Amino acid sequence: MDWYTTVIELIDMRSFSNLWYWIALAVVWSSASHWVLGVPFDLVLRARRHGGQAELDLEDLVRINTNRLVYIGTVSGLWLLGFSCFFLTGLGLLGFFYGVEFAQAVFLLAFPMSIVALMSISTSRLISTQGLRGEALRQRMTKHRFFTQLIGVLSIFVTAMWGMYQNMTAGALGG
């Protein structure tokens, strides 16, 4: 077995039968639910338990990240939306119309994450305009994390069902 064959087997384009894809899926959703608006959720919990400096750190980090997200959304939001729609449409067509499994796998990762990104911009705008602080800020962050986790669970379920279907039909067709 030569080097080229080893690399091709390691980076298998049949994504749903590849362990690396499922590891990446788990890491993406674990990171998305831990980093709420770019702030580690353990800081939200520490601020709730201890207050004081942890509360100030949370408010500062949220202020910095929400201002950043609102600025990006305001300055280049339409361009990002257009590019994202183009990218997701291309992946969807390649994956589900033309049957490219790699495009299906990337679409099933990217589409739910784009929903989380839109939700993050919306939450950032809400936090910024309402000037949330203290308990109200922690509740909004917790609510945002809950909906991110809900989208993640649904995404993993749909991806697992589609992946099992793909693996069964690929196995039935002989590879």
d(CA 24, CA 29): 9
Three-state DSSP class for residue 165: helix
The pLDDT mean for the chain works out to: 90
Residues 6 or more apart in contact with residue 58 via CB below 8 angstroms: 39, 43, 44, 46, 47, 137, 138
Asked if pLDDT for residue 6 goes beyond 90, the answer is no
Confidence at 172, pLDDT banded by 50, 70, 90? low
CA-nearest of 35, 151, 52, 167 to 101 is 167
* 36, β-bridge pairs: 39
| 46/51 Cα distance (integer angstroms) | 7
- pLDDT of amino acid 2: 72
pLDDT tens digits, residue range 96-117?
999 889 999 999 999 999 999 9
The arithmetic mean of pLDDT across residues 78-102, rounded, is 95
